[in-house]
Homo-oligomer: A and B are copies of this chain.
Amino acid sequence: MFKRPPFSAGFRIGYVGGGQLAAMSALQAFRFGMDVAVYAASADEPLCRMTPHATIGRMDDEAALAAFFRTCDVVTLENEFLDADLLLRARNAAGTPLFPTPETFARIADKIVEKRTFAAAGIPVAPWAEIAGPADLDAFGAAHGWPYVLKSAKGGYDGYGNATVTDAGAAREAWRRLGGADGRPVLAEAFVPFSLELAVMVARNLHGTAVYPCVQSIQAGHICKEILAPAPVPPALRRQAQELAVAAMEAVDATGIFGFEFFLTTDGRILLNESAPRPHNSGHYTMEACMASQFENHVRAVCQLPLGDPSMRRPAAAMINLLGTDNRPTRFEHTAETLDTSDAHLHLYGKTGSRIGRKMGHLTLLGEDPAETLALARQLTDPIRT
């Protein structure tokens, strides 16, 4: 499958996108003796600091992408906002394996295609509809009630490209703002009352599937702020989320590592909310909390190596994102207590500048009791400024 086997001299893994996800994955590639290359939009991206093999280019430059592919033994992607057809052509031109495959990407090409794929596989999702015009906005409200959520089908993340709308007027305004009036695909999703949000990482390749624990994702302003592992719900519900995540992997015939976010509704159902075909913020806790991290299994999965054990090594883990508290050149302050705490693990992403709310790093704390571990992790991170 590969020009040379993964554990041989010169084997090079290429990352399209050089943010913190690619950078943390690359550390595991280095650990396996691999070379790392990156195709990034800007030389400021974290992974560009970590390799002599950085190409700066546009994400729609097919020739440049194909040339990058040619220098690599395998290529993987840091985000899902690339054109699947373009990737397919670049891959085929270069003859370099790309995982996840463009075929998989095509099944989750945008949020509408993704909903259809998962619904066809019998995976429960919130009621939703494609919105072709203002009449659809009214009809959706009539059928599923207000408020509901409008989403841009392409390119949304961390709450960007989402709007919760409370009535027909607000719906029209949000739909126009999301580009619906200009032909950009928009979907509506019923607002499902949920008690909490869950997440599951899954790695999959020719050797099998590795399913990580079901965790609680604690959001603030549509951004994942905290992860608590395992999720504080009955084991049967955690198992159900894991099973749905595996079914979703199979539905897209995934090779790589994927993150799945779920709603646990107030009436006890688990609905798939979003998928991410890459390492995911909800899996950062695995770096220390699991026998093999999401990043290690990302590398293993895309290199078609046997997958590592995803089970936790202590009963509890809490991960807290360090979001920018100031707009300034990067500088972390008040980290001493964290550094002094046993089994607290600080990760800083090497971004050159901080902006309020930007993901600048994270802390993972392991412990014996989930609630206590989360409380201590909050206490450690509260004073940190960046």
Contacts and interface: CB of A to CB of B under 8 A. Distances in A.
A339 interface: yes
Contact of A309 (B306, B342, B349): B342
A348 to B, nearest CB: 3
Interface stretch (A92-100, A264-272, A326-334): A326-334
A19 to B, nearest CB: 13
A5 B348 CA distance: 14
A305 B339 contact: yes
Interface in A328-369: 329-333, 335-336, 339-340, 342-343, 346-353, 361
Contact of A331 (B8, B52, B291, B336): B8
A375 interface: no
Interface in A56-76: none
B332 A7 contact: yes
Contact of A330 (B9, B309, B313): B9
B349 A33 contact: yes
Given A9-B353, A51-B49, A311-B342, A33 B306 contact: no
B342 A33 contact: no
B329 A9 contact: yes
Nearest to A340: B306
A10 B352 contact: yes
A238 interface: no
Contacts of A124: none
A23 interface: yes
Interface string A41-59: 0000010111110100000
A232 interface: no
Contact of A348 (B33, B309, B314, B352): B33
A32 B308 contact: no
Nearest to A208: B340
Most chain B CB within a 10 A radius of its CB, from A27, A30, A314: A30
Total identical chains: 2
A34 interface: yes
Given A9-B329, A329-B9, A331-B8, A23 B30 contact: yes
Contact of A50 (B50, B333, B342, B351): B50
A300 interface: yes
A261 interface: no
B306 A339 contact: yes
A226 interface: no
Interface string A197-223: 000000000000000000000000000
Nearest to A349: B33
Contact of A8 (B51, B313, B332): B332
A35 interface: yes
Nearest to A332: B7
Interface of A: 5, 7-10, 23, 27, 30-36, 46, 48-52, 54, 291, 300, 305-309, 311, 313-314, 329-333, 335-336, 339-340, 342-343, 346-353, 361
24 contacts: A5-B331, A7-B332, A7-B348, A8-B331, A9-B329, A9-B330, A9-B331, A9-B352, A30-B50, A32-B346, A33-B330, A33-B332, A35-B49, A36-B49, A36-B50, A48-B52, A50-B51, A51-B51, A51-B52, A300-B339, A306-B339, A307-B339, A313-B314, A313-B343
Given A7-B333, A8-B329, A313-B313, 12 more contacts: A5-B331, A7-B332, A8-B332, A27-B30, A33-B348, A33-B349, A35-B49, A35-B350, A52-B52, A306-B339, A309-B342, A309-B343
